[in-house]
Amino acid sequence: MAKAVKSIGPQPFLKWAGGKRQLLPEIREYIPEEMGTYFEPFIGAGAVLLDLQPKKAIFNDINIELVNVYQVVMNDVDALIEELKKHENGNNSDYFYEIRHLDRNKEEYDKLSSVEKAARMIYLNKTCFNGLYRVNSKGQFNVPFGKYKNPQIVNEPVLRAVHHYLSISEITILNTDFAKVVESAKEGDLVYFDPPYDPVSDTSSFTSYSLDGFKREDQLRLRDLCVELDKKGCKFLLSNSATDFIKDIYKDFHIEIVSATRSINSVASKRGKIDEVLVMNYEPNENR
């Protein structure tokens, strides 16, 4: 009798700082039972989107390289998988730096196809230090080699599962400012915000994800956007660090403290359990 093969559902295929995979059990408990269109302006690794699998979703990221990856997974997954197979040697530092340095020559880099760029980003994500995404002042990827023994570059089942979900759903992928993403949100829609976190200390800020960074003025602009969404009858759920600043600016909304394990930090002693907040403008499900 043939052994049953467990099917793989859509799940994150990238490592990502602040990824929500391990917080999904908590987040699920606070998701409204009913929603219209699902919006996610800071998609990152997409753990929440891929867990909920809404039939209609609009998601975004300011990182154009990341947005390109999602577009390629949705529209050209076969070509992506074949391109990734060219990068299967994941523990060769010389090859890593050769691929990393492709963006040092903008004219040559711009000649790469969207599939080649997507495969490059996935390869670097799987082989660089801690799966970080960081660029220098010129917008060039600058994370060092990660020295992993056998990184999985080609995760074909997961890539195909994500492709299947994206291709059968009504999905819009954007690359713009977070406020523009939700301009069409209306009563009954759900917006999940997972912005770059407010730093818990002066030395913990990680601002090189994009050239612009994400400052306290941006956190305040995001809070003001949440107020506007609330007035429109939209539901929002927001993740952030449990700093006094964040708890103060969202004090008019419902705040839950949750504990998350963070594995990405340049200082090993600072990895581990930290408090985060889930902020929402609705009452949590009564059956919690």
Span of 146-150, 222-226, 261-265, 272-276 with lowest mean pLDDT = 261-265
22 membership: H or E segment, kind and range = none
Is the CB of residue 229 less than 8 Å from the CB of residue 192?
Answer: no
Span of 80-89, 160-169, 279-288 with lowest mean pLDDT = 279-288
pLDDT of residue 211: 47
**Residue 226 per-residue DSSP state:** H
- Per-residue pLDDT tens over the stretch 92-127: 999 999 999 999 999 999 999 999 999 999 999 999
In CATH terms, the fold of domain 63-169 is Adenine-specific Methyltransferase; domain 2 (1.10.1020)
Domain ranges of the chain: 21-61+176-280, 63-169
Of 83, 140, 135, 89, the closest CA to residue 113 belongs to 83
The arithmetic mean of pLDDT across residues 134-154, rounded, is 91
Q: Which CATH superfamily is domain 21-61+176-280 in?
A: Vaccinia Virus protein VP39 (3.40.50.150)
pLDDT of residue 127: 95
Average pLDDT taken over every residue of the chain = 89
The arithmetic mean of pLDDT across residues 181-204, rounded, is 90
Span of 1-10, 18-27, 93-102, 228-237 with lowest mean pLDDT = 1-10
pLDDT of residue 187: 97
Helices 93-100 + 114-127 axis angle, to 10 = 140
- Per-residue pLDDT tens over the stretch 22-54: 889 999 999 998 999 999 999 999 999 999 999
**The two three-digit tokens of residue 171, written as one number:** 């999905």
DSSP, collapsed to helix, strand or coil, labels residue 197 as: coil
64 pLDDT higher than 60: yes
Q: Do domains 21-61+176-280 and 63-169 have the same CATH topology?
A: no
- What confidence tier does 2 reach under pLDDT thresholds 50, 70, 90? very low
- What confidence tier does 241 reach under pLDDT thresholds 50, 70, 90? very high
- Provide the CA 211 distance to its chain's centre, in angstroms: 17
272 pLDDT higher than 70: no
The arithmetic mean of pLDDT across residues 68-81, rounded, is 98
**The two three-digit tokens of residue 150, written as one number:** 């056998």
pLDDT of residue 123: 97
Residues 156 and 171: their CA atoms lie apart, in Å, by 21
